[in-house]
Amino acid sequence: MWQEKDNRLTRTFTFKDFSEAFSFMTRVAMLAEQQSHHPNWSNVWNIVIIELTTHDEGNTITKKDRNLASAIDNLIN
Protein backbone atom coordinates (compact mmCIF):
# COMPACT_ATOMS: atom_id res chain seq x y z
CA MET A 1 0.00 0.00 0.00
CA TRP A 2 1.33 3.43 -0.94
CA GLN A 3 1.80 5.87 1.93
CA GLU A 4 1.94 9.66 1.74
CA LYS A 5 4.74 11.12 3.81
CA ASP A 6 6.84 14.27 3.42
CA ASN A 7 5.28 15.11 0.03
CA ARG A 8 6.16 11.67 -1.35
CA LEU A 9 4.27 8.51 -2.19
CA THR A 10 6.28 5.66 -0.73
CA ARG A 11 5.95 1.90 -0.93
CA THR A 12 8.17 -1.03 0.00
CA PHE A 13 8.04 -4.18 -2.12
CA THR A 14 9.44 -7.53 -0.96
CA PHE A 15 10.29 -10.34 -3.36
CA LYS A 16 11.55 -13.90 -3.00
CA ASP A 17 15.09 -13.03 -4.13
CA PHE A 18 17.31 -10.48 -5.86
CA SER A 19 16.48 -11.68 -9.38
CA GLU A 20 12.77 -11.15 -8.82
CA ALA A 21 13.38 -7.71 -7.31
CA PHE A 22 15.64 -6.70 -10.18
CA SER A 23 13.14 -7.92 -12.75
CA PHE A 24 10.47 -5.79 -11.07
CA MET A 25 12.77 -2.76 -11.15
CA THR A 26 13.36 -3.29 -14.86
CA ARG A 27 9.62 -3.33 -15.53
CA VAL A 28 9.15 -0.20 -13.40
CA ALA A 29 11.96 1.50 -15.33
CA MET A 30 10.13 0.86 -18.60
CA LEU A 31 6.88 2.31 -17.17
CA ALA A 32 8.72 5.33 -15.82
CA GLU A 33 10.35 5.97 -19.17
CA GLN A 34 6.99 5.70 -20.97
CA GLN A 35 5.48 8.22 -18.56
CA SER A 36 8.60 10.40 -18.49
CA HIS A 37 8.40 10.34 -14.71
CA HIS A 38 11.19 8.65 -12.80
CA PRO A 39 11.14 7.38 -9.21
CA ASN A 40 13.60 7.69 -6.40
CA TRP A 41 14.30 4.13 -5.35
CA SER A 42 16.62 1.78 -3.56
CA ASN A 43 17.21 -1.94 -3.65
CA VAL A 44 18.85 -4.29 -1.18
CA TRP A 45 18.67 -7.96 -2.10
CA ASN A 46 14.92 -8.73 -2.24
CA ILE A 47 13.55 -5.35 -1.11
CA VAL A 48 12.73 -2.42 -3.37
CA ILE A 49 11.69 0.93 -1.87
CA ILE A 50 10.09 3.43 -4.24
CA GLU A 51 9.41 7.11 -3.56
CA LEU A 52 7.43 9.23 -6.00
CA THR A 53 7.34 13.02 -6.02
CA THR A 54 7.18 15.57 -8.81
CA HIS A 55 10.41 17.57 -8.69
CA ASP A 56 9.39 20.21 -11.25
CA GLU A 57 6.22 20.97 -9.24
CA GLY A 58 8.14 21.78 -6.07
CA ASN A 59 8.69 18.24 -4.80
CA THR A 60 5.06 17.50 -4.10
CA ILE A 61 2.67 14.68 -4.97
CA THR A 62 0.86 15.22 -8.26
CA LYS A 63 -1.28 13.26 -10.69
CA LYS A 64 1.94 12.08 -12.38
CA ASP A 65 2.95 10.33 -9.15
CA ARG A 66 -0.45 8.76 -8.63
CA ASN A 67 -0.56 7.54 -12.24
CA LEU A 68 2.87 5.93 -11.98
CA ALA A 69 1.99 4.39 -8.60
CA SER A 70 -1.14 2.88 -10.13
CA ALA A 71 0.82 1.48 -13.08
CA ILE A 72 3.39 -0.02 -10.69
CA ASP A 73 0.57 -1.62 -8.68
CA ASN A 74 -0.71 -3.20 -11.89
CA LEU A 75 2.66 -4.95 -12.29
CA ILE A 76 2.16 -6.65 -8.93
CA ASN A 77 -1.53 -7.49 -9.20
User: What was the pLDDT predicted at 14?
Assistant: 98
Which DSSP state fits 17?
A: S
Distance CA 69, CA 1 (A): 10
Distance CA 25, CA 8 (A): 19
Q: What domains can be seen in the chain, in order of their start residue?
A: 3-76 (3.30.1360.20)
CA angle 74–69–5, rounded 5-degree value: 145
Indicate whether 12 pLDDT > 90: yes
User: What was the pLDDT predicted at 56?
Assistant: 86
Query: Which run of H or E residues covers position 18?
Result: helix 18-35
